[in-house]
Amino acid sequence: MSPQTIFIAILGVTLINGFVSPAVPLVFVMAPVWLPEFVPPTRVTLMYGTSLIVSISTLMISAVPAGIFERLTGRQETDQTSMFIWLGAAILLALPGLA
């Protein structure tokens, strides 16, 4: 598998986590903090925004172990091993919502 294919799998896992994560209700309740005033606060808008915030947060947080691995091993480029570590971290973050 190429790193691009693994990255698409990572994006899929993070998108799924954006819908089923236990953090979704918390982010939904915090909408007055993150929702701009020019956006109408409808239920659909809030759900899309909440899902997007949780998905992007999962993507960024799950990249940390892969970055640490690359730094510790002295790799100059991202390879298949790093991408699999990133995918594994994303799956671990998505497990509470899938259970």
Question: In this structure, are residues 83 and 62 in contact, taking their beta carbons and an 8 Å threshold?
Answer: no
According to DSSP H, which parts of 1-99 are helical? 3-20, 24-29, 31-34, 43-73, 80-98
Distance CA 51, CA 58 (A): 11
pLDDT in tens, 47-65: 999 999 999 999 999 999 9
pLDDT, residue 33, reads 94
Residue 60: DSSP 8-state: H
Can you tell me which residue has the tokens 């915090």? 30
pLDDT in tens, 72-99: 999 888 889 999 999 999 999 999 998 8
Residue 81: DSSP 8-state: H
User: Using 50, 70 and 90 to split pLDDT, how confident is the model at 28?
Assistant: very high
pLDDT, residue 78, reads 86
pLDDT, residue 99, reads 80
